[in-house]
Amino acid sequence: MGAPSLQVIDSHVHIWDPAMLDYDWLADAPALNRPFLPADLPHRPANTRGAVFVQADCRDDQALKEVDWVASLEEGWPQLAGIVAFAPISRGDAVTEDLGRLLERPLVRGVRQLLQDRDESFMLHQSTLAGARQVARAGLVFDACIRAWQLAALVEFARRAPGLVIVLDHMGKPPIASGELTAWRSGMQELARCDNVVVKISGAGAEAAPDRPLAPQALPFIQETLRLFGAERCMIGSDCPVSLTGPAAYKDWITTVEQAMAGASDGERNNVAHGTASRVYGLQAYAEQSAMNQEKD
């Protein structure tokens, strides 16, 4: 693949250190069960204006420690533009205590409680919805990480919390390996009717067949996401290091998204690359300063 030309804000990256915090899920992911730190991210050699750290599912009671640890790395991680922290929205109105502490951390722009593999009764429980509405009142964004079979429940969730800006992670984790678009497309069509939802074009590597090139598998799903939501409601993310690792794979992913936008206007390309993430996560000041710094280099 050729070198990418997009200047991106990577809207979805993770770092972790098992020596610092507890990540139970790493026991089932031996290839990832080691420290992944900012120096391991492939941003420096790529066209990356900034990055949004998304909580890496450490132990729930360590959520503030995770935010403070990540923020402490800011000086050596100039791409760090914002943080999506863990918040237990299923606590209902009581989540305001958690949100209040998070709002004291200036890098926090959004929150996430993993919804993947949760049934509809959890997502649509009155407590979960009450917590979601408190996130909206706090002026924060909610990242929704689900699987494709949960799209219908997320549609209802979005309708019942219309004031909440929801960012769908990883295009809803579609069945990229099988290439079966029909059921996923139907769910995404309904979700696109909820104007409080935007989408991360990210995470394809984790859903693709590892023995085949990623781009041909992912392109139909990226193109359909762009068609349904439009560039102003889509943002690029890498999901490093879960979905891809290394500078070559990172550059190839950006190039793949560029291929999916063939024929798009400069404005549309800029929205997907950095504009949507900047607007949704409130990163305008960071993006402007980063662009100025790049012009000086």
pLDDT string in tens for the chain (297-residue length): 666 678 899 999 999 999 999 999 999 999 999 999 999 998 865 678 999 999 999 999 999 999 999 999 999 999 999 999 999 999 999 999 999 999 999 999 999 999 999 999 999 999 999 999 999 999 999 999 999 999 999 999 999 999 999 999 999 999 999 999 999 999 999 999 999 999 999 999 999 999 999 999 999 999 999 999 999 999 999 999 999 888 889 999 999 999 999 999 999 999 999 999 999 999 976 656 555 555 544
Residues with Cβ within 8 Å of residue 230, at least 6 apart in sequence = none
Cross-strand bridge partners of residue 86: 112
Residue 136 domain flag: yes
Separation CA 78–CA 19 (nearest Å): 23
Residue with tokens 């190039």: 255
Residue 26 domain flag: yes
Q: Write out the residue range of the structural domain in which residue 151 sits.
A: 8-296
Number of other CB atoms surrounding residue 20 within 10 Å? 14
- Read off the tokens for 11: 């809207």
Residue 192 domain flag: yes
Residue 3 domain flag: no
Separation CA 245–CA 104 (nearest Å): 32
Instruction: Give the domain CATH number at 95.
Output: 3.20.20.140
- How many separate domains does the chain show? 1
The pTM is what?
0.94
Residue 32 domain flag: yes
Residue 179 domain flag: yes
Widest Cα–Cα separation across the chain: 53
Residues with Cβ within 8 Å of residue 142, at least 6 apart in sequence = 89, 110, 111, 112, 132, 135, 136, 164, 165, 166, 167
Residues with Cβ within 8 Å of residue 180, at least 6 apart in sequence = none
Phi and psi, residue 16, nearest 5°: -160, 160
Radius of gyration of the chain (CA): 18
Residue 40 domain flag: yes
Residue 2 domain flag: no
Residue range 86-140, pLDDT digits in tens: 999 999 999 999 999 999 999 999 999 999 999 999 999 999 999 999 999 999 9
